[in-house]
Amino acid sequence: MKLKVKLFGDLIRYSPSGRDVFELEVPGFNGSDATVKELIRALGIPEGEVWIITVNGVQAQAERILTEGDEVMIFAPVMGG
Amino acid sequence: MPGYQGKILRVDLGTGKTWVEEKDEMFYRRYWGGRGIIAYYLLNEVPREADPLGPENVLVFAAGPLTGAPFAGSGRNSVGAKSPLTGGYGDAEGGGFFGAELKRAGFDAIVIKGCSEKPVYLYVHDGEAELKDASHLWGKTTGEVEDLIKEELGDRLVRVAQCGPAGENLVRFACVANDLTHFAGRTGMGAVMGSKKLRAVAVRGKGQVQVANPEKLRELARWMTENAPVLAPGLTDTGTAGGTVNLSVAGGLPTRNFKQGSFEGAEKISGQTMRDTVLVDRDTCYSCPIRCKRVVKTETPYKVDPRYGGPEYETIGSLGSNLGIDDLVAICKGNELCNAYGLDTISTGVTIAFAMECFERGLFTLEETGGLDLRFGNKDAVLKAIELIKERKGFGDLLALGSRELSRRIGCGAEDLAMHVRGQEIPMHEPRLKYALGIGYAVSPTGADHCHNFHDTGYEKADSRGFEELKGLGIYDPLPASDLSPEKIHMFWTVTNLRTFANVAVICQFVPWSVQQLEELVRAVTGWNTTAAEILAAGERANTMARVFNLREGIDLSEERLPKRFFQAFSEGPLAGKAADPAVWEKAKITAYKMAGWTEEGIPTKECLARLGIGWASKYLPDKG
Is this complex's ipTM strictly greater than 0.95?
A: no
The answer to whether the bond into B506 is cis (omega within 30° of 0) is: yes
pLDDT digits over B180-234, tens only?
999 999 999 999 999 999 999 999 999 999 999 999 999 999 999 999 999 999 9
pLDDT of the residue at B466: 87
Is residue B406 in a domain? yes
- Is residue B54 within 8 A of residue B81, CB to CB? The reply is no
B314: three-class secondary structure by DSSP? helix
- Percentage of the residues of chain B whose pLDDT score is greater than 90: 98
Q: Which residue range is the domain that position B364 belongs to?
A: 233-418
Q: Does the distance separating the beta carbons of A80 and B245 come in below 8 Å?
A: no
- CA of A29, closest CA in chain B: separation in Å? 26
pLDDT of the residue at A54: 95
- Is residue B173 within 8 A of residue B130, CB to CB? The reply is no
B303: three-class secondary structure by DSSP? coil
Whether residue A28 has pLDDT greater than 80: no
Is residue A55 in a domain? yes
Q: What is the spatial distance between Cα B48 and Cα B283, in angstroms, rounded to a whole number?
A: 42
Is residue A34 in a domain? yes
pLDDT of the residue at A31: 52
- Is residue B164 within 8 A of residue B342, CB to CB? The reply is yes
pLDDT of the residue at B465: 85
Is residue B625 in a domain? no
β-sheet with B77-82: strand ranges across: B17-22, B7-12, B109-113, B59-62, B77-82, B89-94
pLDDT of the residue at B625: 42
- CA of B570, closest CA in chain A: separation in Å? 17
Of B233, B461, B499, nearest to A12 by CB-CB distance is: B233
Residues B399 and B496 occupy one common structural domain: no
Is residue B518 in a domain? no
Number of separate domains in chain B? 3
Number of separate domains in chain A? 1
pLDDT digits over B22-33, tens only?
999 999 999 999
Is residue A36 in a domain? yes
pLDDT digits over B276-321, tens only?
999 999 999 999 999 999 999 999 999 999 999 999 999 999 999 9
pLDDT of the residue at A32: 54
Of B381, B272, B256, the C-alpha closest to B318 is B256
- Is residue B494 within 8 A of residue B475, CB to CB? The reply is yes
- CA of A46, closest CA in chain B: separation in Å? 8
Is residue A21 in a domain? yes
pLDDT digits over A32-42, tens only?
568 999 899 99
Residues B348 and B385 occupy one common structural domain: yes
Whether residue A29 has pLDDT greater than 80: no
Is residue B430 in a domain? no
What CATH number is attached to the domain comprising B180?
A: 3.60.9.10
Is residue B223 in a domain? no
Is residue A68 in a domain? yes
Residues B138 and B280 occupy one common structural domain: no
Residue spans of chain B under pLDDT 70: 624-625
Is residue B429 in a domain? no
- CA of A32, closest CA in chain B: separation in Å? 26
Whether residue A48 has pLDDT greater than 90: no
Q: Which residue range is the domain that position A63 belongs to?
A: 2-75
What CATH number is attached to the domain comprising A44?
A: 3.10.20.30
What CATH number is attached to the domain comprising B614?
A: 1.10.599.10
Q: Is B271 on the interface with A (CB under 8 A)?
A: no
Is residue A66 in a domain? yes
Residues B105 and B184 occupy one common structural domain: yes
Residues B79 and B160 occupy one common structural domain: yes
Q: Which residues of A touch B (CB under 8 A)?
A: 8-13, 20, 46-49, 51-52, 54, 59, 73, 75-81
Of B246, B624, B501, B467, the C-alpha closest to A47 is B467
Residue of B nearest to A76 (CA): B246
Whether residue A45 has pLDDT greater than 60: yes
Residues B65 and B174 occupy one common structural domain: yes
Is residue B427 in a domain? no
Is residue A80 in a domain? no
Of B175, B54, B191, B49, the C-alpha closest to B115 is B54
Is residue A61 in a domain? yes
With a CB cutoff of 8 Å and minimum separation 6, the contacts of B256 are B321, B322, B323, B324, B353, B356, B357, B376
Q: Does the distance separating the beta carbons of B460 and A77 come in below 8 Å?
A: yes
Q: Does the distance separating the beta carbons of B243 and A8 come in below 8 Å?
A: yes
pLDDT of the residue at B622: 84
Please provide the average confidence, as pLDDT, over all residues in chain A: 87
Q: What is the spatial distance between Cα B418 and Cα B561, in angstroms, rounded to a whole number?
A: 13
